Amino acid sequence: MDEREYLENYDISKYERPSFTVDILVFAIANEKRENYRRLSKKSLRLLLIKRGEHPFKGQWALPGGFVRANENIDATARRELKEETNVEHAYLEQLHTWGDLGRDPRGWIISTSYMALVNGDDCNIESGDDADEARWFEVNYKVINEEKVATDNGYRIQSNIELVLTAGDIELKAILEKISIYENHIEREEINIIESRNIAFDHPKMIEYGLDSLRKKVEQTDIVFSLMPELFTLTELQKVYEIILGKSLLMAAFRRKLTDIVIETEEFTKDAGHRPSRLHRFNNEWRF
């Protein structure tokens, strides 16, 4: 039997098949209102969630996403969903992880791949999702509650709890996750479990935690932050964005030294601040190499 013949007789349905979906973490930076004419507006990291209009988890909040269509490549599904929810076409988009645990969806066997998208909040238009579900930006707050190192027979494990709080106006979603890093016989393994999930659908708390982790790593190692920034920005703004994502404060002098080649000074300045104006900068497209 030759290959053509083999393929003609091949019955793809002989193995059971899962349903397959794509879920997207859309991140943006938001500015809160200025408290007083002098102070800078505070920045926060936002994540887009959709209120589910259907069972399961009806009324709870979930990541935007949907089923992969039969003649659609999975990256295209992610781009399509992003476009549908935010109207943004050109954004940083990256595949993160594929989730295939048993029982992760009460509807049956469904495997999902999560993606991360970084958008400039100003470019987004999230008024109406195509399926009339409500979409909202949630402020992300992440905290490692208690970290503990436990010795085991062949090594040790580090166990920590993570508190994830998402707020939008008076809506507060909260999840507690347990993260266990096991180091035994030189081998590292990670486990993450949902301890508590208040109004967050499916295993999406895990996806969010994983996404935040990926975002932090990427921000430390690459220049993707600029995908979250507007065309012109001050160095202080840029630093604040780094600080919010990394969850630590940076030294101004060192930060600026590092950025000298990556950004370009413009001749424009901020106005109407009750203090010294700040020079606006833009990303240096020639950077790298």
Partner DNA sequence: ATAATAGTGTCTTTCAGACAGTATAGT
Partner DNA sequence: ACTATACTGTCTGAAAGACACTATTAT
Residues that bind DNA (CB under 7 A): 36-40, 234-236, 250-254, 256-258, 270-279
8 binds, among DNA, its own copies, none (CB under 5 to 8 A by kind): none
Q: Is 17 in the site for its own copies (CB under 8 A)?
A: yes
Query: Rounded to the nearest whole angstrom, what is the least distance from the CB of residue 107 to its own copies in the complex?
Result: 5
Number of Cβ within a 10 Å radius of residue 42: 13
Half-sphere exposure of 283 (CA within 13 A, CB side): 12
CB of 273 to its own copies, least distance (A): 25
Q: Which is nearer to DNA, 144 or 252 (CB)?
A: 252
Closest distance of CB 264 from its own copies, Å: 12
d(C-alpha 64, C-alpha 211), whole Å = 14
Cis amide bond preceding 56, omega within 30 = yes
Left if phi > 0, otherwise alpha if psi is -120 to 50, otherwise beta: which for 229? beta
Find out whether 79 and 92 touch, Cβ atoms under 8 Å: no
Q: Which is nearer to its own copies, 150 or 171 (CB)?
A: 150
Choose from its own copies, DNA, none: what does 256 bind? Cβ within 5-8 Å by kind: DNA
Q: Which is nearer to DNA, 83 or 282 (CB)?
A: 282
Give whichever of 92 and 273 is closer to its own copies, judged by the CB atom. Answer: 92
Residue 188, interface with its own copies (CB under 8 A)? yes
Instruction: Report 18-77 residues binding its own copies (CB under 8 A).
Output: 18-20, 54-56, 58, 67-75
Q: Among residues 224 and 244, whose Cβ is nearest to its own copies? A: 224
Find the binding residues for its own copies in span 213-242 (CB under 8 A).
Answer: 222-224, 226-227, 229
Pick from its own copies, DNA, none: which does 90 bind, CB < 5 to 8 A by kind? its own copies
Given candidates 143, 149, 258, 275, which one binds its own copies under the rule CB under 8 A? Answer: 149
In angstroms, the CA 204 to CA 23 distance is 9
Rule CB under 8 A: which residues touch its own copies?
A: 1-3, 6-7, 10, 12, 15-20, 54-56, 58, 67-75, 90-93, 95, 97-98, 100-102, 106-111, 113, 149, 154-156, 158, 183, 185-189, 222-224, 226-227, 229, 283, 285-286, 288-289
